[in-house]
């Protein structure tokens, strides 16, 4: 694992040397993006680690907000948060969307509304000029139902919709579900990754970004 991260880092450095342009990356998401449960979010959340891995040719902004839903009529819509507005102020070249975990709560889940609102989110981000490259993250696994968040809805509801929308809009998919499936021991509350799991998750994301 250590050697693979070294190779990934070297690959990024080589690619970064080909251009002087700094690529801005906005990480859109909920508590898993914000860094809930980590001892020091400002140092160990995945966007912070991603910024470090990608190096000086990239600038990564954490636009995660805990407890938020993708759906506009969820119990805490991402749409009403300052982090959503921050994306447009930042004018990213790359947007990574990781929303859907809180949408699996029984009071929130409506498959048709989730699909519709996710498409609106894609369309809205694509109004940014120049148009950013958007990555769709499949959610990390839910290792045990908690706060209504459940793995069944992730697998049978969220993921099929995300795969459908990614194909429809020609967007790249970052498969965190299968990539993190063996990390249960590093999810202390079964929902949120600890520092070890965050490093693995960030490695998966970084590897996908440099593939372009």
Q: How do residues 39-83 score in pLDDT, each as one tens digit?
A: 999 999 999 999 999 999 999 999 999 999 999 999 999 999 999
DSSP 156: I
Q: Which two tokens stand for residue 76?
A: 């805490």
Domains in the chain with CATH codes: 20-211 (3.40.50.1110)
pLDDT tens for each residue of 86-118: 999 999 999 999 999 999 999 999 999 999 999
> pLDDT digits over 4-49, tens only?
544 454 454 444 444 469 999 999 999 999 999 999 999 999 999 9
Flag whether pLDDT at 145 surpasses 60. Answer: yes
E strands present in the chain: 23-29, 58-64, 94-98, 133-138, 172-175
Contact 8, 53 (CB under 8 A): yes
């Amino acid at each position: 694992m250590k050697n693979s991260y070294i190779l990934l880092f070297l690959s990024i450095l080589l690619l970064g040397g080909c251009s002087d342009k700094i690529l801005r990356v906005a990480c859109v998401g909920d508590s898993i993006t914000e860094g809930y449960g980590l001892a020091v979010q400002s140092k160990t959340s995945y966007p912070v680690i991603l910024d470090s891995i990608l190096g000086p040719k990239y600038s990564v902004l954490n636009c995660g907000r805990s407890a938020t839903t993708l759906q506009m009529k969820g119990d805490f819509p991402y749409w009403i948060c300052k982090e959503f507005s921050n994306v447009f102020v930042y004018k990213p070249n790359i947007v990574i969307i990781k929303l859907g975990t809180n949408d699996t709560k029984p009071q929130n889940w409506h498959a048709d509304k989730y699909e519709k609102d996710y498409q609106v989110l894609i369309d809205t981000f694509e109004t940014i000029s120049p148009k950013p490259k958007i990555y769709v993250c499949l959610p990390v696994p839910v290792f045990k139902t908690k706060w209504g968040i459940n793995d069944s809805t992730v697998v049978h509801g969220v993921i099929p919709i995300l795969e459908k929308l990614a194909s429809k809009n020609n967007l790249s998919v970052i498969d965190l579900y299968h990539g993190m499936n063996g990390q249960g021991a590093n999810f202390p509350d079964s929902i949120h990754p600890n520092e070890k799991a965050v490093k693995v998750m960030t490695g998966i994301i970084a590897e996908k970004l440099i593939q372009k």
